[in-house]
Chain A
Amino acid sequence: MKDSDASTNVNETQSARNFLIRSAKKSPQLILGIALTGFVVTITVVSFFWTPWDPININVEKRLLSPSFSHWFGTDRLGRDLLSQIMVGGQNTLYVTLVSTLIGVVFGTSLGLAAAGSGPRWGVIFTRISDIGIALPSILIALVLATTLGPGRLSVIVAISFWFVPVTARVVVGPARQILSLDFVEAAMTHGRSRMYILFRQVLPNIAPIVIVQTSMMLAAGILIEASLSFLGVGAQPPTTSWGKILMDSQSLVQEAPYYTLLPGSFVVITVLGFNLLGDGLAVLLDPQQSQKGVA
């Protein structure tokens, strides 16, 4: 008896120590995802303090220079350093995505919990309404909003959140209902716990893995949407730059300067891939059975 106790203790400390190694073995995607997103977030944060060149310094003589030692990524159509532009462009892309995802997660999760906690009739109404929200793609909402609000950051954030809220709610509601039907919830009810207490203190922690994975997937989707909208000219407006905006400018020059399109585009791909892998990796790590079921 004592022996087995001791061995579990050793196992626990070892497992705590080797947690990283074990999770890396279990889901290599996670490590790759952390590396990619870490890289992009780092250079974006660095861009607040330092960029290789002044990102807004226009020098028409140095227009469309191919990548070289002084300009690693070459220069853009106005002679600005492309690497510096990309670093600064990440600020807007990440900011918009983070804010919309945060809104989506907070409101979507609360709505989903509320729907799970209310009666079946409300549940049907909730499903129908969220279906409509999900069917309306963000890009469409953003375009409608941009007509009245004008193109820009605000339209994009509202549009992405407008889609993220029902999507999250929809992902949350099913598992939340499952947890609500478990015995310990009933026990809490007989103890006279309030509905709010049960939903937020008992159900929420149990569905946290799903919410976390969903968050990561939405970060990926948000970056794609923001980039597409900026590319269409509805997103970031000058002087703010964004990856999609850089690609919009490069579009007509794709023949003369392929690097001008390929480099910023690769940054979008790396970031989206990173967040998707992070989500997949977390899904495997947090709940092997739930893997690959995220939306977006």
Chain B
Amino acid sequence: MIRIFFRSFILMIASAFAGSVVIFVLLRMVGGDIATIMLGTKATPESLAILREAFGLNRSWVEQYLSWIGGVFRGDLGEAYTGQYVIGTEIAQRLEPTLILTFGSLFIAIPSALIIGVYSAMNFKRWRGASVDAVAQVGLAIPQFFLALVFVLVFAVHLGWLPATGYVSVFIDPLVALRSMVLPIATLSLGITAVFTRFVRTSMIEQMNEDYMRTAKAKGHTVRSAAIVHGLRNSAIPLTTTGVLQIGALIAGSVVVENVFGIPGIGRLLLTSVMTREAITVQSLALVILLIILSMNLLMDVLYGLLDPRIRHKEGRK
């Protein structure tokens, strides 16, 4: 088990490095000169030179990359150009809402998907099971920003139950914080619940036909208890393997949701920085987002090992 963790951890670090190169190159390959991008085409040569000097943009790519990555390790990401803030501190402050939003959504989505998926798999030949699938199919098709607007319309404008925008830190007022996060988390978790539900349903239907299910029934389990005791664990396995794709979607979704609900998280900072052409900030933000994705993947890998003893033992013997 510890071996799997280390293996996944080393892979994660390698992926993070590779990803950082991709981000670094993407920012320089297409647009040409970063200084011009940040200042606009009307900038004077003098101001461009000053900016290049300040951000080390006149050095070679390799030097720039190394100094950036070195800064990441030292926790020093430099200062933003227009915002006049320290990038590292700003990112640290904005991590809290983003992490609450994304982990909160996973926390809601995974159990709901398991419950709904198993329920629909047990009724898969009846209309109840089929209708769950139909609802999940529609859930997949609703873009997050549209769902967010519909939620605002119904729960904030018409019913007045929940605030439409604004964010309060949990450390300041947990109750208000909770109220302000209900709609964002609901928005973000719905799509991912739909995806997960379909995976659980498909794999559960497969599991229902396995021999061990028949054995369980012969031992005196009811269909439902056999499904919950034995089937659930097995059908959760595909969730961890397909989760990789979904986590990317979850993080991408958080960028959208943060912007609709005005949550001061990483995603909102990213969009503002993109719009103001803060290339240096975007570079570090993209890396932070990649790290969040990769650590969630790591978590999934570990869960996978915990859920599937075959993997655990096979890897352990190596």
Contact = CB atoms under 8 A, between A and B. Distances in A.
B245 interface: yes
Interface in B227-273: 242, 244-245, 247-249, 251-252, 255-256, 259-260, 270-271, 273
B153 A137 contact: no
Nearest to B142: A269
Interface string A201-233: 000000000000000000010001001100111
A292 B198 CA distance: 8
Interface stretch (A115-123, A179-187, A250-258): A250-258
Contact of B290 (A135, A149, A233): A135
B226 interface: no
B18 A132 contact: yes
Contacts of A143: 255, 270-271, 274, 282, 286
Contacts of B271: 143, 232-234
A148 B30 contact: yes
A84 interface: no
Given A135-B15, A147-B37, A251-B260, A265 B143 contact: yes
A247 interface: yes
B202 interface: yes
Given A147-B31, A148-B27, A261 B153 contact: yes
Contact of B259 (A138, A140, A232): A232
Contact of A136 (B248, B270, B279): B248
Given A254-B153, A261-B153, A231 B141 contact: no
A134 B252 CA distance: 12
A34 interface: no
Contacts of B290: 135-136, 140
Interface string B152-192: 11000100000000000000000000000000000000000
B302 to A, nearest CB: 17
Contacts of A277: 137
A267 to B, nearest CB: 10
Interface residues of B, number: 59
Interface string B14-54: 11001100110011101110100100000000000000000
Nearest to B157: A255
A265 B256 contact: no
Nearest to B242: A295
A96 B28 CA distance: 24
Interface string B280-295: 0011001001100110
Contacts of B247: 135
Given A137-B251, A232-B255, A234-B274, A148 B32 contact: yes
A231 B255 CA distance: 12
A247 B150 CA distance: 11
A148 B37 contact: yes
B23 A144 contact: yes
A147 B80 CA distance: 14
A11 B276 CA distance: 67
Q: Is the interface of A mostly helix, strand, loop or mixed?
A: helix
A285 interface: no
Contacts of A273: 137-138, 140-141
A266 to B, nearest CB: 9
A269 B247 CA distance: 22
A135 B274 contact: no
B146 interface: yes
Contact of B140 (A129, A145, A261, A272): A272
A158 B274 CA distance: 16
A294 to B, nearest CB: 10
A113 B157 CA distance: 52
A276 interface: yes
A131 interface: yes
Contacts of B146: 227, 247, 261, 265, 268-269
B120 interface: no
B138 A148 contact: no
A139 interface: yes
Given A254-B153, A255-B157, A273-B138, A228 B143 contact: yes
Interface string A272-294: 11001100100000000000110
A148 B33 CA distance: 9
Contacts of A149: 30-31
Interface string B112-155: 00000000000000000000000001101111111001101100
Contacts of B256: 139, 228, 231-232
Contacts of A56: none
A62 to B, nearest CB: 23
Residue among B149, B260, B277 with max Cβ neighbours from chain A (10 Å): B149
Contacts of A128: 11, 14-15, 18
Closest 4 pairs (CB-CB, A-B): A148-B31, A137-B252, A273-B141, A139-B252
26 contacts: A131-B244, A135-B19, A135-B248, A139-B252, A139-B255, A140-B290, A143-B271, A143-B282, A146-B274, A147-B277, A147-B278, A148-B31, A231-B145, A232-B255, A232-B256, A232-B271, A234-B271, A234-B274, A247-B146, A262-B150, A268-B143, A268-B146, A272-B140, A276-B141, A280-B137, A296-B245
Interface of B: 11, 14-15, 18-19, 22-23, 26-28, 30-32, 34, 37, 137-138, 140-146, 149-150, 152-153, 157, 198, 202, 242, 244-245, 247-249, 251-252, 255-256, 259-260, 270-271, 273-275, 277-279, 282-283, 286, 289-290, 293-294, 297
